[in-house]
């Protein structure tokens, strides 16, 4: 309770105009004392009353103000999204003048592109404004801090009242490409096409042999006829399924890489799903099939709250025909568990960007 009272208390900051006005009061007061001029005493009294009235009126402007802030349902970290800011004046008959609303710049807090200015909020009314907001890190945000400030009516004092909103928001990892992500996606997309080529039973065409393809589809008669190796290609009967595995068994010194891997995992899941692939996501006992079990946002929500955790030996793959991608710092353990043909992204294959920290988790800690 005491902590909330301290957080909500009004803070005062004297402005340059207030400094000049205070100096003027002091000079007039000194002149009044030296000259014993009653008129100067009256002027000093009027000036001090003006200063006191200024503080009272500005305090009334900040009283009984309520704020609410809503963001879209699906928000990735690092991306600027529109938010709705609502300010209500609950005073019976006193309006509030010249109010500014800004986000408190605490580490990990949401960042408003610019503050919002309300010249007048009538009593009993609610004003709303669209603002651009960016959440710097993934995670659960349960407390978002904002501040009301005003220098009304004379600009002598700048008064600020802090407001803490207890509204939970789950911020997904960044799904925007980071250095190397586009090239990685292009390579994986090509490997998926090659992996699923020829898994059907209906004959599609005869085409030239490509490197690293299985010899079981070679058409020897056609090869002898044209003088080069030709293979039979069959129509694909099944949809593309990508088994995506995120290893949570990460040493503390690799926390930054783990955050980078989470961003990469979110990027791949989002982009591959957008391209029509079915995502079979797994991580330390957690399993989710998209679209059978739900939409891609369920996977992104898991990745928003996931954290490193000691786990048992890696689980073997569930579908031998799926294309497999594993993000792990221990590739040998996964190969021993049956992931020999998987695309394994280890710290050597997926290094941290130069000068990057991987964009660590933000908000309050959460569990996956």
What is the distance between the alpha carbons of residues 262 and 339, in angstroms, rounded to a whole number? 20
What is the widest separation between alpha-carbon atoms in the chain? 122
Q: Output 99 or 201, whichever has higher pLDDT.
A: 99
Q: Is the pLDDT of residue 360 over 60?
A: no
Mean predicted confidence (pLDDT) in 307-326 = 85
Mean predicted confidence (pLDDT) in 242-260 = 91
The two tokens of residue 342 are 């998987």
Q: Output 233 or 357, whichever has higher pLDDT.
A: 233
Cβ(89)–Cβ(64) below 8 Å: yes
Mean predicted confidence (pLDDT) in 173-188 = 87
Within 10 A of 172 (CB to CB), how many other CB atoms are there?
A: 27
DSSP state of 137: S
Confidence of residue 108 (pLDDT cuts 50, 70, 90): low
Cβ(304)–Cβ(171) below 8 Å: yes
Cβ(255)–Cβ(308) below 8 Å: yes
Confidence of residue 261 (pLDDT cuts 50, 70, 90): very high
Please choose, from the candidates 292, 249, 244, the residue with its C-alpha nearest in 3D space to the C-alpha of residue 269. 244
Q: Output 223 or 344, whichever has higher pLDDT.
A: 344
78-89 burial, b at 16+ Cβ within 10 Å, e below that, comes to beebebebebbb
Within 10 A of 259 (CB to CB), how many other CB atoms are there?
A: 25
Range name among 27-41, 153-167, 249-263 with the lowest pLDDT average: 153-167
List phi, psi (to 5°) of 115. Answer: -70, 170
Helices (H), 227-311: 255-274, 296-305
Q: Taking the CA atoms of the chain, what radius of gyration do you get in angstroms? A: 32
- The model's pLDDT over 42-64, given as tens digits with 9 standing for 90+, comes to 998 998 888 888 888 888 888 88
Element holding 147 (H helix, E strand): strand 144-150
Confidence of residue 78 (pLDDT cuts 50, 70, 90): confident
Cβ(80)–Cβ(113) below 8 Å: yes
Return the SS3 of 27.
Answer: helix
Percent of the chain with pLDDT over 70: 84
Could you tell me the pTM of the whole model?
0.72
pLDDT of residue 150: 87
Mean pLDDT score of the chain: 81
pLDDT of residue 312: 81
List phi, psi (to 5°) of 56. Answer: -65, -45
What is the distance between the alpha carbons of residues 303 and 317, in angstroms, rounded to a whole number? 20
pLDDT of residue 262: 94
pLDDT of residue 237: 44
pLDDT of residue 163: 79
What is the distance between the alpha carbons of residues 107 and 25, in angstroms, rounded to a whole number? 41
Mean predicted confidence (pLDDT) in 246-273 = 92
The two tokens of residue 94 are 């006193």
Strand partners, 244: 281, 325
């Amino acid at each position: 309770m005491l902590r909330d009272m301290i957080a909500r208390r009004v803070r005062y900051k004297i402005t340059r105009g207030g400094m000049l006005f205070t100096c003027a009061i002091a000079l007039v007061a000194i002149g009044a004392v030296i000259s014993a001029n009653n008129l100067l005493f009256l002027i000093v009294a009027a000036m001090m009353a003006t200063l006191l009235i200024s503080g009272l009126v500005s305090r009334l402007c900040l009283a009984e103000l309520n704020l609410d802030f809503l963001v879209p349902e699906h928000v990735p970290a690092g991306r600027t999204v529109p938010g709705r800011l609502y300010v209500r004046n609950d005073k019976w008959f006193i309006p509030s003048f010249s109010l500014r609303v800004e986000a408190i710049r605490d580490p990990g807090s949401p960042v408003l592109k610019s503050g919002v200015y309300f010249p007048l909020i009538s009593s009993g009314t609610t004003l709303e404004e669209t603002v651009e907001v960016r959440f710097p890190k993934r995670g659960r945000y349960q407390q978002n801090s904002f501040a009301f400030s005003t220098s009304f009516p004379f600009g002598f004092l700048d008064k600020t009242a802090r407001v803490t909103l207890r509204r939970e928001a789950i911020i997904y990892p960044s799904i925007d490409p980071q250095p190397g992500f586009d090239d990685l996606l292009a390579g994986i997309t090509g490997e998926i096409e090659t992996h699923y080529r020829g898994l059907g039973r209906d004959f599609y065409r005869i085409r030239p042999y490509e490197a690293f393809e299985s010899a079981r589809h070679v058409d020897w008669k056609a090869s002898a006829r044209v003088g080069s190796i030709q293979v039979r290609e069959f129509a694909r009967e099944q949809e593309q399924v990508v088994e995506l595995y995120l290893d949570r068994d990460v040493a503390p010194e690799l926390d930054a890489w783990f955050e980078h891997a989470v961003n990469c995992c979110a990027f791949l899941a989002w982009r591959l799903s957008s391209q029509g692939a079915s995502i079979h996501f797994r991580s330390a006992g957690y399993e989710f099939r998209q679209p059978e079990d739900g939409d891609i946002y369920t996977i992104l929500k898991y990745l928003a709250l996931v954290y490193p955790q000691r786990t048992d030996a890696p689980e073997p793959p569930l579908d031998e025909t799926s294309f497999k991608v594993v993000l792990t710092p221990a590739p040998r353990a996964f190969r021993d568990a049956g992931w020999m043909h998987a695309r394994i992204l280890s710290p050597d294959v997926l290094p941290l960007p130069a000068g990057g920290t991987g964009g660590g988790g933000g908000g309050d800690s959460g569990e996956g």
